[in-house]
Chains A and B, each alone.
Chain A
Amino acid sequence: MVPMENYLILSAIVFSLGVYGVLARRNAVLVLMSVELMLNAVSLNFIAFATYLDPDRILGAIFAVFVITVAAAEVGLALAIVIRLFRSRSTSNVDEAAILKW
């Protein structure tokens, strides 16, 4: 078996990449993709914990399933708002789209 620490380290790295993307990217769609990275890192954490620690191996998996669906709903909504902004502004950059400062 791969030791659990490997999964946790991988998840921490992916999560940090996501945080970097959120802070560094100005395009709304790219920020969204970075958020997805963070959420997937968390799902990985849950599944690793479920497999290694939880005798029933079920709670973490359930949590991951809910994270995936909620993330899909958020992406759908965010894309819808971006399209709306894009139609009136022809831009999807968070910076350019900011009358309200970030």
Chain B
Amino acid sequence: MSDLDIVGPQLAVLVAAAAVLLVDALIPQHRRIVPFVALAGLALSAAWTLSWVARDDYQTAFEGTLSLDKFSVFFYFLFAGITATVVLASIDWVNRAGRGQGEYYALVLTSCAGLMFLSASRDLITIYVALELSSIPQYILAGWGKDNRSSEAGLKYLLLGAVASSILLYGMALLYGLTGTTMLDGIADAIAADGESHRSLLVLASVLLIAGFGFKMAVVPFQMWVPDVYQGAPTPVAAYLSVGSKAAAFAVVLRIFFEALGEGFLSDDWSTVFAVLAAVSMTVGNVMAVVQTDIKRMLGYSSIAQAGNFMVGLAAISVSGEEFTLGASSVLVFLAAYAFTNLGAFIAVIAISQRIGSDQIKDYAGMWKRSPVLALALAFCLVSLTGIPPTAGFWAKMYIFNAGIRADLAWLVIIGVLNSVISGYYYLSVARQMFLGDAEGADRVRVSPSIGLSLGVATLGVLVFGILPTPLISAAKDAAEIFSRQ
């Protein structure tokens, strides 16, 4: 029974998914309550997680394959929050799409449960199954729209995702062959015992793993799906993909690389790979984002650049001693700040494009006059993405670049700062359009309550963590503690 208690947060989400389907199929006249059933499930999940925090009794379940620790608890809260915001932001869009309401929310919830499992798994088989549990619903959701463009986005995401997961599996197979186990701690022990003799094969396995997860993290050179899928998929789904699956991929990469492959001789190799990928992703993402005219494509490229920023934290593993976990905790801080910020930006885009019927940046001109609140919220999120105070994005960048400096990666931090300047150009040019451009239509842009609420939550999060970053940073430090070594 206690095993089921440990996976309670995921079970709550899965039961909510089933309940959503049943409500939709059996009492169609009460279809309106479907999203609220989903929200209730997420609230129950968060409450269950909270009860584990209160019990302060962290343990593993199912023979050690799933681990309930401060790291997974951090991500449980993050994913429940992200999914709740996405559900709120989807209500309008799904109502207008008019079909398959139950299925839509059930898929979002199933994917959320997959992400939660992913952040908690400590076994290669569990990681793979959790990854697919979160990915397959995302493939369907990306193809949810009525037009061909959306179906194509779904098909492309699925095909490339399947290729990525088979590359990932090849890496896992090598790791299993070299160590004889699929448990992360067992792998770490086997590598510590006689890893040096298979060093080149271990490096090959790490590179295959990085390639497989790089697809989910959306870093160059595994990024080609991002702009197309973000543009083609329904905007709420794009928002979900840009924060949810990215956060989970970084969570599992932190676990695999810090826990299983953290051995000194190996981490030197892969931290270099991460440093190079970080530099390339930031640069390519930002340069491509500058020339975009479609705001969803622009946010797609910008999310590639942001993934480059996350990777600075992964590359910073070479910090030794007490600060060994600094890189990991900085990734967590950045993930949380980015989740709020990017969700806020995407929700503002949903609200605006629903009314003006366009995703073109030039049509955002004069938005300040048509809806001051939306324009301010979007501009605020863009400022946070650039990394200017007083926003959460500022502290996240400070913290992660600090980790980079401590790890003697000054060259990478310089590239990162230069890239922030480039990103400032295109983020702020959207803001300039909104505040200084001339409005095309005179009609005001109104916001529905559900979107207003989700946008409020996201921007408030950005603002609060921008002014009071300490709770977030200390939570991230606690969560990253599980990687520390005595």
User: Do A and B share a direct contact in the complex (Cβ within 8 angstroms)?
Assistant: yes
Chain A residues near B110 (CB-CB < 8 A): none
Q: Mark A47-78, 1 if CB is under 8 A from B, else 0.
A: 01100011100011011001100110110011
Choose one: A48, A62, A81; the contact of B151 (CB below 8 Å).
Answer: A81
Cα distance A18–B156 when bound, in Å? 17
Interface flag for A85 (CB, 8 Å): yes
CB within 8 Å for A100 and B149 given contacts A53-B177, A53-B180, A77-B139: yes
Interface flag for A32 (CB, 8 Å): yes
Least CB separation from B129: chain A residue: A66
Cβ contact within 8 Å between B166 and A59: no
How many chain B residues touch A (CB < 8 A): the figure is 37
Shortest A31–chain B CB gap in Å is 5
Q: Mark B399-413, 1 if CB is under 8 A from A, else 0.
A: 000000000000000
Interface flag for A97 (CB, 8 Å): yes
Cα distance A102–B159 when bound, in Å? 11
Cβ contact within 8 Å between A100 and B128: no
CB within 8 Å for A42 and B166 given contacts A59-B181, A99-B148: yes
Choose one: A18, A22, A85, A88; the contact of B155 (CB below 8 Å).
Answer: A85
Within 8 A of B (CB), among A1-54: 15, 18, 22, 28, 31-32, 35, 38-39, 41-42, 45-46, 48-49, 53-54
Shortest A92–chain B CB gap in Å is 10
CB within 8 Å for A46 and B176 given contacts A77-B140, A99-B148: yes
Cβ contact within 8 Å between B170 and A97: no
Chain A residues near B162 (CB-CB < 8 A): 32, 35, 39, 71, 74, 78
Summarize B's interface: helix, strand, loop or mixed: helix
Interface flag for B103 (CB, 8 Å): no
CB within 8 Å for A59 and B232 given contacts A45-B173, A49-B177, A70-B129: no
Shortest B300–chain A CB gap in Å is 11
Cα distance A88–B224 when bound, in Å? 25
Chain A residues near B124 (CB-CB < 8 A): 63
Interface flag for B143 (CB, 8 Å): yes
Interface flag for B125 (CB, 8 Å): yes
Cβ contact within 8 Å between A74 and B128: no
Cβ contact within 8 Å between B136 and A77: yes
Q: Mark B155-174, 1 if CB is under 8 A from A, else 0.
A: 11011001100110110111
Interface flag for B119 (CB, 8 Å): no
Shortest B471–chain A CB gap in Å is 39
Shortest A39–chain B CB gap in Å is 5
Cα distance A70–B163 when bound, in Å? 13
Cα distance A67–B127 when bound, in Å? 12
Interface flag for B154 (CB, 8 Å): yes
Choose one: B139, B152, B156, B166; the contact of A38 (CB below 8 Å).
Answer: B166
How many chain A residues touch B (CB < 8 A): the figure is 43
Cβ contact within 8 Å between A32 and B166: no
Chain B residues near A60 (CB-CB < 8 A): 173, 176
Choose one: B153, B166, B177; the contact of A39 (CB below 8 Å).
Answer: B166
Within 8 A of A (CB), among B443-457: none
Cα distance A60–B140 when bound, in Å? 29
Cβ contact within 8 Å between B156 and A63: no
Choose one: B140, B166, B228; the contact of A100 (CB below 8 Å).
Answer: B228
Shortest B217–chain A CB gap in Å is 20
Cα distance A91–B162 when bound, in Å? 21
Cα distance A66–B127 when bound, in Å? 11
Chain B residues near A38 (CB-CB < 8 A): 163, 166-167, 170
Q: Mark A86-102, 1 if CB is under 8 A from B, else 0.
A: 00110000100111111
Cβ contact within 8 Å between B177 and A63: no
**Residue of A41, A63, A97, A102 with most partner-chain B CB within 10 A:** A63
Interface flag for B245 (CB, 8 Å): no
Cβ contact within 8 Å between A22 and B163: yes
Chain A residues near B155 (CB-CB < 8 A): 28, 78, 81-82, 85, 94, 97
- Name A residues whose Cβ lies closer than 8 Å to a Cβ of B: 15, 18, 22, 28, 31-32, 35, 38-39, 41-42, 45-46, 48-49, 53-55, 59-60, 62-63, 66-67, 70-71, 73-74, 77-78, 81-82, 84-85, 88-89, 94, 97-102
Extra contacts besides A63-B182, A85-B151 (9): CB < 8 Å: A38-B167, A38-B170, A59-B176, A63-B125, A63-B173, A70-B136, A73-B136, A74-B132, A78-B162
Query: What are 15 A-B contacts defined by CB distance under 8 Å?
Result: A31-B159, A35-B166, A39-B169, A45-B174, A49-B176, A53-B177, A54-B181, A59-B176, A59-B181, A59-B182, A70-B129, A74-B136, A78-B162, A84-B143, A84-B151
